[in-house]
């Protein structure tokens, strides 16, 4: 049985970390993915916060695998902004290979942010967000399969 975004929203932080650690990096994705923020994992607020963030702030990411970049879709009208470099490298969580979404050289607004993603199901990646070296939240990006 494949894992789904609603499954992720019900998991604890420890379960999310274990899933991330036990998953392969997968290929660098291409195309438009729906994003879901996973804030306060394992609490009754997780789904409401995810819906709020998705509606008002962040809808997802559009990857260009060929050029190794992505754009975040932000605001309620899906503005493509906040560019990141995309490449494979060691995870700050466990040192194993992951796909790094690096904003340090591409965004004034988010230059201190680094995301890491790994493939957890067909078309579904689980991600970690870092601010400097401090872990902030988790997120999922879902591609149409």
> What is the model's pLDDT at position 8?
95
Assessment of whether the complete model's pTM goes beyond 0.85: yes
For each of the chain's 145 residues, which pLDDT tens digit applies?
789 999 999 999 999 999 999 999 999 999 999 999 888 787 776 677 667 666 667 788 999 999 999 998 876 665 667 889 999 999 999 999 999 999 998 877 778 889 999 999 999 999 999 998 899 889 999 999 8
- How many structural domains does the chain have? 1
Q: Domain containing 38: what range? A: 5-142
DSSP, residue by residue, 22-88: TS---PPP-EEEEEEEE-STTSTTHHHHHHHHHHHTEEEEEEETTTTEEEEEETTTTEEEEEEEEEE
- Give every CB contact of residue 123 below 8 A, 6+ residues apart in sequence: 142, 143, 144, 145
Residue bearing tokens 């379960």: 15
d(CA 67, CA 85) in angstroms, rounded, equals 9
Residue 142 exposed, middle or buried by CB count within 10 Å (0-12, 13-18, 19+): middle
> What is the model's pLDDT at position 41?
82
Answer whether 85's CB lies under 8 Å from 69's CB: yes
Residue 130 has a CB neighbour count (10 Å cut-off) of 16
> What is the model's pLDDT at position 114?
93
- CATH number of the domain that residue 60 is part of: 2.40.160
Chain-centre distance for alpha carbon 136: 12
């Amino acid at each position: 049985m494949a894992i789904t975004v609603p499954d992720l929203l019900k998991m604890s932080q420890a379960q999310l970390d274990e899933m991330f650690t036990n998953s392969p990096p997968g290929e660098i994705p291409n195309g438009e993915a729906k994003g879901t923020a996973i804030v306060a994992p394992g609490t009754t607020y997780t789904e409401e916060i995810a819906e709020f963030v998705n509606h008002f702030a962040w809808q997802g990411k559009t990857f260009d695998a060929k050029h190794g970049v992505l754009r975040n879709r932000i605001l309620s009208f899906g503005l493509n902004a906040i560019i990141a470099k995309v490449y494979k490298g060691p995870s700050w969580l466990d040192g194993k290979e992951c796909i790094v979404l690096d904003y340090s050289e591409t965004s004034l607004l988010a230059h201190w942010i680094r995301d890491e993603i790994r493939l957890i199901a067909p078309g579904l990646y689980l991600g970690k967000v870092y601010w400097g070296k401090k872990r902030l939240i988790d997120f999922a990006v879902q591609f149409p399969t």
